[in-house]
Amino acid sequence: MCDTLVCLPSVTKHGRMIFAKNSDRSPNEPHIVERIPAQDHDLEQEPEVQATYIKVKQVPHTYAVTLFKPSWIWGAEMGFNEYGVNIGNEAVFTKVKRGKDALIGMDLIRLALERSKTAYEAMICITKLLAEYGQGGNCGYQKRFYYDNSYLIADGKEAYVLETAGKYWVAKEVKDYYAISNALTIDNDFDYAHPEILVEKMNDPNFSFRKKFSEPVFTYFAKAKKRRTCSLDIIQAHLGEITIETIMNILRSHQVTDNKASVGSVCMHAGGPIGDHTTGSYIYEYREDTDICLFTGASLPCTSMYKLLLKDYVENEPTGLGIPYWAKRELLLRYFISGQGDKTSFTKERDVLEQELLYDINNTSSIDGLKSLVVLYGNKEEELIDKYYQPLKHTEHQFSMGSSYYRKYWTKMTKRLVDDLNSMNKGL
């Protein structure tokens, strides 16, 4: 479960395109940030590259990419490359029967980012790989989970939505803004399509890709319509005035009160029989001098702080610690969920620090100045985390808030998380 959106310059306050996504996954799945530099490849020595389940043909050169990803997946839930191409995907549930292991949607994101200079190139790259290798494979962390994919793709000048069902696909260019969730959205208003879909549309003027391929039961219980409507309602209410703060409000929005699962919320909270957990969040704003990215590197944007990244790597930036970086923040979050941590005080301090960061970003004109903010606020956020985490780190989590099911859910998940971290020698 995820939510992805893009706002083109025509609807934002400062005339800058903004791209964003919440990644909703298993709450125990480590969400990490990985920077991979541009590389040349000797195709005689390295003719193929291993993706999550299969190998694909390598290319002579791959571009530098920044990936926001599950730790065990080769690909990524979302990310950008050195040319500013951004891609985020969504699980979509279709009537197409599951085939053998192939490329999963997250692999297709990474491959497209490594091989594309524009959003259009990325869209074409994904469709060509889909035709050659197909899509399929388990995407679940601690349970098996299979799905097809939709994508939002942007590059600062244009954006595309691409939706797939097995080998079939349709795509269209985005006008002004768009949001996708865990459901197909394109009927017959597409600009590009799989050849068989083009023929079907020619033969049937009422053809709808969404209606033909959507699997109704999973799509309904995923609450995709509710979450997408929430994103679009906020965007439409702020047309011409949309800023990073507007997008933060979308990514932090809820449909329920605390201590409940919320599959219908853009900021998704686990704790019920269905639904996932927002394990990571990011916002990318295209700027005249250098693009900026704000990311959580942690679960639940309603509680986590957005930190600064630039398109290019900055020494000592707060992303290179992988699972330990994520795990500390996740264990602190569990103290907030249990009621043992002072969430109210933490979020107040978080809000102040985040507003200071945004103020400094907007009042810093040089790239060197922005680089210093990456490190400065990365360190400040680490200090804030330690202030609330260190006094509790040796205390067993005791969940006392919410329903009986909710408490049992988080007790079970947290015990498993601690066991997993200890087995990886990542105990904190």
Q: Is 2 annotated in the active site?
A: yes
199 phi and psi, to 5 degrees? Answer: -65, -45
**In the beta sheet, which residues pair with residue 91?**
149
Residue of 2, 7, 125, 302 marked catalytic:
2
Bridge partners of residue 61, in order along the sequence:
40
275 dihedral zone (left: phi>0; alpha: psi -120 to 50; beta) = left
The rounded distance, in Å, linking the Cα atoms of 242 and 8 is 10
Q: Could you give the dihedral angle defined by the CA atoms of residues 160, 165, 167 and 171, in that order, rounded to the nearest 10 degrees?
A: -20
Q: What is the DSSP string of 358-383?
A: HHHHHT--SHHHHHHHHHHHHHHHHH
Kindly report the CA angle at 289 between 283 and 292, in degrees rounded to 5?
Answer: 15
- DSSP three-state, residue 168: strand
DSSP 23-88: EEE-TTS-EEEEEE--EE--TTT--EEE-SSSEEE--SEE--EEEEEETT-SS-SEEEETT--EEE
* C-alpha distances in Å from residue 154, one per residue of 82, 232, 320, 324: 13, 18, 26, 31
Give catalytic residue positions: 2
